[in-house]
Amino acid sequence: MSPQRLNILCVSQLPASPPRFGAQARMHGLMTELAQHHDLTAVVLVDEEFDIEECRRAMQVYCHEVVLIPNPSRGGASKRLQQLRSLTSTQSFERLRVRVPALQQALDRVLRARPFDVVNLEFTFLGGYNLRQAPPGNRLPALVVDSHNIDYDLARQYARAGGVVRRLYAAANWRKLRWEELTTYRDADGVYLCSVADQRRLLDEVPGAGTLVIPNAADVQYYQPRTTDPPSDSRTVVFFGHLSYFPNIDGLTYFVQKIWPRIAEMQPKARLKIIGAQAPRSVQALVRPGVELTGFVSDLRPHLAEAAVVVVPLRLGGGTRLKIVEAMAMGKAIVSSTLGAEGIEAVPGRDLLVEDQPAAFADAVSGLLAEPSLAARIGQSARQLAVQRYAWSGAARALEDFYREILDGPSREQPSEPDWHGSTSVA
């Protein structure tokens, strides 16, 4: 296939821009790079937590067309009712919450109006929608899935963590999610994943799947040390991430309760800064002398520049952590759990420190606070690795090659003449 511009339809349950947390950062980084050489259209569900017009303006910068479909309120009591409903349904809660007929109508209109080479589906939760459509006489688009996590495996982890209600609910839900997710992977022409570990998990379940590992990356031009930023104060420890995400809540709670008291005892001047949006009451309750919750910040860079250490004490999750590659790009010393650093090709002791036991984790953080020169050396090595291995430009080139490999493969079947007057159900 010649290297012509591709027509790519990006379908997602959340907007890519402006990027405020990990999943958005991955989508935004890849889409903005792809848009330099290809034509992107986006059809996206938007929950009430987002400013839909702000998202539209941000995505119109790099997309040919942006179609944003409001998702009715899913928070509070409505969310709980849907979770209860899902217990008696054959479908998972994750799929039920994105059942929006207006989204299928938008997809029908866009896919029938012009031919696309690729439909790029973020996550698998929208896998029940009819995504393989084309104008009469045109080849159906390839379906390629961006697997941010193996989500059923993450839900299975939830079944072993948290309170009794969460565990019981997750135990009932993850099996339904597994069937849906694996069905979407089997139906896809290709799946790209964040880590080799996730790739192995998928291939164990779907041996014939066409896969590629595209790790999370960073905008290494945006995230880089700047002379205008405050210098490291040698006492601030930073945790950042979306604070409504359960693996972040679990890891942060574990850190504050089990690790931070040890650090504070060894380094009385140390302070912990927690940065992130939508902190639940359980996270707000972690605030105490020496522990600060900033909430959302519009520019993370000055806060990272000031930090002496960034911590990633995660115990649940999959894929790779954007918080690590962004902190690496900023030249920061990082202490992570083994799971938190999973999928990052970093050398422990050179590019970051990896510890899993509370005492050892606390000793690693305390040692970096006590020895700024060591923190600086690790941060410099981390920055170099981020530039060489974890820039979005390289990730996007790999994704483009993956698209072309799929499109150059065996011809896919031509679409039959559709019944344009028929109804389309949302699975």
What's the pLDDT tens digit per position in 191-226? Answer: 999 999 999 999 999 999 999 999 999 999 999 999
Q: Pick 17 or 73 by higher pLDDT.
A: 17
What's the pLDDT tens digit per position in 330-348? Answer: 999 999 999 999 889 999 9
| Average pLDDT rounded to a whole number, residues 250-267 | 97
Residue length of the chain: 427
Report the alpha-carbon distance of residue 423 to residue 162 in Å, rounded: 42
Confidence category of residue 73, pLDDT binned at 50, 70, 90: low
Confidence category of residue 167, pLDDT binned at 50, 70, 90: confident
Q: Within 10 A of 257 (CB to CB), how many other CB atoms are there? A: 11
Confidence category of residue 80, pLDDT binned at 50, 70, 90: low
Kindly state the DSSP code that residue 414 receives in the 8-state scheme. P
* Both structure tokens of 18: 């402006």
Edge-to-edge strand ranges of the sheet holding 190-193? 65-70, 39-46, 7-12, 118-122, 142-147, 190-193, 211-213
- Average pLDDT over the chain reads 91
Tell me the C-alpha to C-alpha distance, in Å, between residue 60 and each of 42, 102, 124, 257: 9, 21, 24, 44
Kindly state the DSSP code that residue 121 receives in the 8-state scheme. E
DSSP per-residue letters across 147-167: ESS-HHHHHHHHTTSS-HHHH
Which structural domains are found in the chain, ordered by start? 7-217+391-407 (3.40.50.2000), 236-389 (3.40.50.2000)
Find tokens 């688009």 and name the residue: 141
